[in-house]
Structure 1
Amino acid sequence: MPIGSESGAGIAPEPVPEYAAWRQGVAGVLAKARRVEAAELPAEPEHLLDETTYDGLTIAPLYTRRDELPEQPLPGAFPYVRGGDATRDPQRGWFVSAFAGEDDAEATNRAILTGLENGVSAIALGVGPYGVAVDDIPVALRGLLYELAPLTLVAGAATSSAAQKVFEVLDGYSIDDRAQIRVGLAAAPLTSAFTGAEDVDQAEAVALAVRAIARPESVRAITVDGIAFHNAGAADAQEVGAAIAAGLAYLRLLTGAGVDIADAFGQLEFRFAATDDQFATIVKFRAARRLWARVAQVCGAPAFGAAPQHAVTSAAMMTQRDPWVNLLRTTLAAFGAGVGGADSVTVLPFDAALPPGELGVSTTFSQRMARNTQLLLLEESHLGHVQDPAAGSWYVDALTDELAAKAWAFMQELEAEGGYLAALDSGVLAARIAETAATRAADVAHRRAAVTGVNEFPNLAEAPLSEQARERGPNVRYGAAFETLRNRSDAYLAAHGARPKALIVPLGPVAEHNARTIFTANVLASGGIESVNPGPLAIDAIAAAAREAGARIAVLCGADKRYTEQAGEAVDALRAAGVETVLLAGPEKSVAQYSGTQRPDGYLALRIDAVAVLSQLLEKVGA
């Protein structure tokens, strides 16, 4: 039975009398906006408002009971769409996870205990290259009540030795019901092979799983890290589908080593990225549970298909520029992950894309803000009191159904290559994700996708970044291309005492040019170019304004009709004043009648490749 076949096929949609009236209203608005007659629009004009995700899913402008799907079983019941745990403590909600890992074990221990005293309820301990030395683990964990705070290792290639040290600590810990102790070893050789990160090899991961099965505590040895794909640019269905394919590969490794299928399922947990698209995040976690439950069903172990899910707020969505906006991004991401049913959530500090201290705030402050983001959602908004509160939403249920089907199809595509490992070796997996990454990068460059503070509403007044910040990697951020332009502007500022400048030349009254002057200033600032706007200029005043500004770039801003009447003369005036590059805010067709020197050198239209255009402008001024 393919994923998606349960989606209400064969159920006749209920008529919605109000829908026809709404459709008529949509047609009226679209006809006016497009300056056509309503009769010229398609029979279902609302589809002109549809949006398409990077996975190819269609987001409709309105969902009604026409889109209603059968209700999913309650949390804790197959296929676990609504959650894997029917008895989750509503006072706790999800686990608030925080990373702790410094070279100094005593400092790490203080950070852990301070976090636990202030709302953290799960610990990710950095070991080896990520934090404390293996031999110092007992010191770092001193005073931890393991049955209350789940522990996850972040140890990479040192996972086996770190696990041995943790087991030694647990052997000396007294508690009657040792199954209450939850430990994740987080071995991730298959997803680490995708990113190139150092990790244990497959044989070590299997050996760790065998040891974990023999432990009296609840230990899961392997993490299927979907974030590896997300940070490479994967869309949601690709992230989930690739993670499910990797999970299947782990099952094959474990059962091939003689591990019982139920025990094999018990050794896996999943990690996914949570983004500031709250509905997409909600749907991702619901769909991922559904798919893994389907895998368990096919394997004959449906009761073991509820693997824990850990959410980490996306590093790719974070920005170095105007980083305080990251507080809003991570809040939305944590909201989506929590509502979507993640078992634990890690919120990255808002300045995670910057070196410590770059903003003049302490690491303690940024970590506290990350922690309190979740605590506000849990303790003031009470989001943990209801499991799967999005259930019954026509939009969420429909999108869950569609995303699950798309992710399952992507997993099958990888299986057709011979499985996850074969798709990894052949490059098919990387190539498919790279296609999506390139599409997203183009959308950001053309400003079809907004990154607030970067390609929309940039703040040129913020302090330049340090050299350490400019060189920080790996570079997975969606706004990285624009941030690179801003770095070039910062370097120019350091060398010349001022930023690259462009003169905005408004033609006609404010009502005619205001929209384009605002647009132009915004675009230029996203590339680190400062705008000089002297206000509306008569043709005979343009040359003097250009000489006073001393800018080598100028942009004409006005209405198309005004361009028809004055653009040629304005261009001539700017060239006579020594302006080297004259652009026009608007389409090229608006000055089609001009030729020779009266033609602008370029155009700032709504959907230009802003990264390419701004890069060329910076080159022209020597940045």
Structure 2
Amino acid sequence: MRRGVTDAAHAYSEWQQAVAGVLAKSRRVDASELGPEPQKLLETTTYDGVTISPLYTGRDERPEPPLPGVFPFVRGADANRDVNSGWLVNAQFGQGAVDASAVNRTILDSLENGVSALQLSVGGENLPTASLAVALEGVLLDLAPLTLDAGADAETASEQILALLDTRAAAGDGVADRAQVRVGLGVAPLTSAFSGAADVELAQAVALAETAAGREESIRAITVDGTAFHNAGASDAEELGAAVAAGVEYLRALTNAGLSISVALGQLEFRLAATDDQFQTIAKFRAGRQVWARVAQVCGASEFGGAVQHAVTSAAMMAQRDPWVNMLRTTLAAFGAGVGGADSVTVLPFDVALPAGAAGVSKSFSARIARNTQLLLLEESHLGRVLDPGAGSWYVEDLTEEIAAKAWEFFQQIEAVGGYSAALGSGVIGDRIAATKAARDSDIAHRRTTVTGVNEFPNLAEAPLPTEAIESGATVARYAAAFEALRDRSDAFLAANGARPQVFLAPLGPVAEHNGRSTFAANLLASGGIEALNPGPLDAGNGSIAAAVKESGARIAVLCGTDKRYAEQGAAAVAALREAGIEQVLLAGPEKIFAGVEGAERPDGFLTARIDAVAALTALLDAIDGDNE
């Protein structure tokens, strides 16, 4: 045994030496300068302050959590979930609809093609509440659970659905065990108070829960909507911590109304966001169950602490530009939620951030792709066949514990100021989430965080969006918004001038030399909707710069080349660009290359991978707009 431990320690030491060698070479330093644990240079930190290691080994092993269905329910709340069907494939219906018969046909068609749970939007601008019975004609609610999304009309919609259940029972609908009929009334007054969405008052929610608790069917009145926090910019632990705090306030209200803690726990379900960071999503859903189980334990009802979780793919991560990439994002999100143990999953349509038809496809096509994303995971990849397949992974288990700890810490901070509503009023929740949003926005603006098709690998040839392009909702802080605002400016410029904003590239030396930086510059400019005009290799001393600038008609230029080429020709090239009529000269590279150079031979700015790209591109568009006034 001792020999095995010694061998493992020796192997680990050798691995550290190998890491040091590679890092030393890439950083151009001696390996001895990297310290005794060089692998720590590869660590990353999440917005929750959780450190992610580059490699997890037996050194990171944590105690194995109990089996699914056993407190603290990390591995799942239901030990008997049908592994043949996996999680429930949820889909949304009724949004903006007025024809209940058409909604009914869509629902039945979807059920025949793989949907196994329904979310029905009623009231307001959606399906009229009086049309619920028509929309649900032929829908077997003991086989396909239903959740209402009725906002301020939730009380009326709930009365309608309960009356429908009574009518069906009286008519003999063939359901022997009424508990198999599963309905969520979907009221969410506390989280709606954060997001600004219309909803019923807390007292009405409590009254509905009392009614639901007395029914033979399995009816949950309240949805703790964590997506309200996520869509505002919250991190994973912040979403969980705020949602748990809201859940505890619901428990207090329900028990004060006379419900037992076990019944009160049964009246709540959680709706959480799933993102394209698959491991974060897996760990978040596992951690969410663990934290809520701790609440139930403190309340003296451990066995009732298995949180019911409904995952919705993140609306914040969806992009308007190159929206086809959203299919990849939602696939990863659905994967993470399913593997993380969500009871039901909703995949948002890939064009959800766009006006209807803006992506050039029908609504039915978008819905089919969203549905089939889950069906491919379930029926072809068989992801539902194993409960909690991430269990035992050193990384997943460690990340789960870390997120749970951070979520519990935030929950305690909320409780310390008087609970959820008090924290909401004092700004404790909003300020914390706003700080996280600002940090994420900065990372995206500096392109430390990649949004494919937006701040990296943009498609400048993409057709302009309709002028009525809208975001997915006023309460959704989409990650791509700042760059897409720049692209909107480019579209407006194109419409007014017949061409996109343009910047001249001045590549020095042969293609092999300048290609790296000219490609970088073109990609950066395109992310702001600016077209890069590349005339090919230029020479500072043969007059080619002047001729190329004259042909382009541009007033802004980016010099591209190697450090060595800059040292030889950079100053002369800058001077030649100015003499040719260029008003602003930028350099693709660090400022240190022009240390000591002053006057007309010094660039006006420097484009590097670390700049605030949104600020730099905004300034360029301002300058180009100014030239065209």
Structure 1 and Structure 2 fold alike (TM over 0.5): yes
Distance in 2 between the 1:20 and 1:389 partners? 31
Q: Specify the alignment match of 1:267 in structure 2.
A: 267
* Separation of aligned partners in 2, 1:457 and 1:529: 13
- Structure 2 residue matching 1:323: 3-state secondary structure: coil
DSSP 3-state at the match of 1:80 = coil
Secondary structure (helix, strand or coil) at the match of 1:172 reads helix
- CA-to-partner distance for each residue in 1:87-135, whole Å, 9 max, x for gaps? 1111110000000102211111111101101000000011012521111
8 Å contact from structure 2 (residues 206, 253) kept in 1: yes
Question: Matched residues in 2 for 1:15 and 1:177: separation?
Answer: 57
Q: Map of 1:149-168 to 2, 5 A cutoff?
A: 149-168=144-163
CA contact (8 A) 1:96 1:121 kept: yes
Aligned residue for 2:435? 435
Q: 2:606 aligns with which of 586, 596, 603?
A: 603
Cα distance change, pair 166–473 in 1 and its aligned pair in 2 (3 A): closer
Q: Residue in 1 aligned with 2:482?
A: 481
CA–CA separation in structure 2 for the residues paired with 1:435 and 1:554: 36
TM-score (norm 2): 0.96
| 1:472 positional shift | 6.3
Distance 1:416 1:193, change over 3 A: same
| Partner Cα separation in structure 2 for residue 477 and residue 139 of structure 1 | 36
Matches within 5 A, 1:455-470: 455-470=455-470
Q: How many angstroms apart in 1 are the aligned matches of 2:552 and 2:428?
A: 53
1:358-393 alpha-carbon deviations (Å, 9 max, x no partner): 122100000000000000000000001100001010
Name the CA distance, whole Å, in 2 between partners of 1:46 and 1:218. Answer: 51
- Which among 614, 617, 620 is matched to residue 620 of structure 2? 617
Matched, 1:133 2:128: yes
Q: Give how far 1:512 is off.
A: 2.3
CA drift at 1:483: 0.1
Q: Normalization by structure 1: what TM-score?
A: 0.97
**Contact 1:96–1:344, Cα closer than 8 Å, also in 2:** yes
SS in 1 for 2:65: coil
Alignment deviations for residues 33-73 of structure 1 (CA, whole Å, 9 cap, x no partner): 11111111111110000000010000000001111111111
Letter in 2 for 1:33: S
Aligned to 2:524: 523
Q: Which residue of 2 aligns with 1:69?
A: 62
Tell me how far apart the structure 2 counterparts of residues 545 and 414 of structure 1 sit (CA, whole Å).
62
- Secondary structure, in 3 states, of the residue corresponding to 1:128? coil
Whole-Å Cα distance in 1 between the matches of residues 471 and 352 of structure 2? 14
Aligned letter for 2:514? H
Alpha-carbon contact 2:355-2:470 (below 8 Å) kept: no
Residue 431 of structure 1, CA deviation: 0.2
| Distance in 1, Cα, partners of 2:358 & 2:144 | 32
Amino acid corresponding to residue 14 of structure 2 in structure 1: A
Q: Secondary structure at the match of 1:555?
A: strand
C-alpha distance in structure 2 between counterparts of 1:41 and 1:452, whole Å:
33
Query: 1:578 maps to what in 2?
Result: 581
Q: Displacement of 1:551 after TM fit? A: 1.2
Instruction: Give the distance between the partners of 1:100 and 1:402, measured in 2 at CA.
Output: 37
Q: Distance in 2 between matches of 1:356 and 1:622?
A: 31
- Partner residue in 1 for 2:296: 296
Aligned pair 1:251/2:251, yes or no? yes
8 Å Cα contact 1:233-1:436 kept in structure 2? yes
Per-residue deviation at 1:436?
Answer: 0.2
The superposition leaves residues 429-480 of structure 1 with CA deviations (integer Å, 9 ceiling, x where unpaired) of 0000000000000000000000000000000011000011157642521010
SS of 1:621 mapped into structure 2: helix
User: Residue in 1 aligned with 2:572?
Assistant: 569
Q: Per-residue displacement from partner, 1:312-351 (whole Å, max 9, x unpaired)?
A: 0000000000000000000000000000000000000000
Distance apart, 1:17 and its partner CA: 4.1
Residues 532-541 or 392-401, more deviating: 532-541
Amino acid at match of 1:135: A
- The equivalent residue for 1:224 is 224
Instruction: Give the letter for the 2:30 counterpart.
Output: E
Aligned counterparts of 1:123 and 1:40: Cα–Cα separation in 2 = 59
> Secondary structure of 2:500's match?
coil
| Structure 2 residue aligned with 1:197 | 197
What is the CA–CA distance in structure 2 between the aligned matches of 1:13 and 1:60, rounded to whole Å? 23
Counterpart of 2:310? 310
Match of 1:240 in 2: 240
* Alpha carbons of structure 1 residues 14 and 351: separation in structure 2 relative to 1, 3 Å: farther
User: More deviation in 151-160 or 545-554?
Assistant: 545-554
Contact 2:92 2:120 in 1 (8 A): yes
In structure 2, the partner of 1:411 is 411
**How far apart in 2 are the matches of 1:378 and 1:387?**
13
8 Å Cα contact 1:14/1:65 also seen in 2: no
**Paired position in structure 1 for 2:508:** 507
CA distance in 2, matches of 1:142, 1:355: 30
Letter in 2 for 1:353: A
Whether 1:83 aligns to 2:76 is yes
Whichever residue aligns with residue 529 of structure 1, its letter is I
Q: 1:451 to 1:185 in 2, by over 3 A?
A: same
State how far apart, in whole Å, the 2-side matches of 1:304 and 1:353 are: 38
Percent of paired sites with the same residue: 66
Gaps spanning 5+ residues in structure 2: where? none
Structure 1 unaligned regions, length at least 5: 1-11
- Write the deviation string for residues 291-311 of structure 1: whole angstroms up to 9, x where unpaired: 000100010000100121000
> Equivalents in 2 of 1:358, 1:115: separation in Å?
23
Q: Distance between the aligned counterparts of 2:10 and 2:311, measured in 1? A: 41
Aligned ranges 1:3-42 → 2 under 5 Å: 16-42=9-35
Counterparts of 2:435 and 2:611, CA distance in 1:
20
Deviation at 1:15, TM superposition (A): 5.0
2:315–2:472 Cα contact (<8 Å) kept: no
1:567 Cα offset (Å)? 1.4
CA distance in 2 between counterparts of 1:13 and 1:117 reads 60
CA gap of 1:13–1:610, structure 2 versus 1, over 3 A, is farther
Cα deviation, residue 561, structure 1 = 2.1
> 1:509: how far off?
2.4
Q: In the superposition, relative to structure 1, how do residues 84 and 326 fare at CA in structure 2: closer, same or farther (>3 Å)?
A: same
Moved more, 166-175 or 74-83: 166-175
Q: How many angstroms apart in 1 are the aligned matches of 2:582 and 2:120? A: 58
For residues 471-509 of structure 1, the C-alpha deviation after alignment (integer angstroms, 9 at most, x for no partner) is: 764252101000000000000000000001111111122
Question: Do the aligned partners of residues 16 and 170 (structure 1) sit closer, same or farther apart at CA in structure 2, a change above 3 Å counting?
Answer: farther
State how far apart, in whole Å, the 1-side matches of 2:258 and 2:294 are: 22
Q: State the one-letter code of the partner of 2:128.
A: A
Report if the CA contact (8 A) 1:16-1:65 is conserved.
no
Task: Specify whether residues 599 and 586 from structure 1 end up closer, same or farther in structure 2 by C-alpha distance, changes over 3 A only.
Answer: same
**Correspondence for 1:100:** 93
CA contact (8 A) 1:130 1:154 kept: no
User: Structure 1, residues 2-48: CA drift from partner, whole Å, max 9, x if none?
Assistant: xxxxxxxxxx9995542211111100011111111111111111000
Match of 1:467, SS state, is coil
1:331 pairs with 2:331? yes
Which segment drifts farther, 364-373 or 507-516? 507-516
1:495 and 1:445 mapped to 2: Cα distance? 27
8 A contact 1:470–1:487 mirrored in 2: no
- Cα deviation, residue 511, structure 1: 2.8
CA distance in 2, matches of 1:385, 1:209: 34
- 8 A Cα contact 1:313 1:334, kept in partner: yes
Partner of residue 187, structure 1: 187
Range with greater deviation from structure 2 (555-564 or 318-327)? 555-564
Q: Structure 1 residue 417: deviation in Å? A: 1.2
* Structure 2 equivalent of residue 591 of structure 1: 594
Q: Deviations over 1:169-227 (max 9, x none)?
A: 10122321000011101110000000111100100000010000011000000000110
Distance in 1 between the 2:121 and 2:429 partners? 29
Question: Residue type of the partner of 2:565?
Answer: R
- Which residue is equivalent to 2:341? 341
Over 3 Å counting, the alpha-carbon distance change for 1:613 and 1:606 in structure 2 is same
What residue number does 1:145 align with?
A: 140
**Which residue, out of 36, 41, 66, partners 1:43?**
36
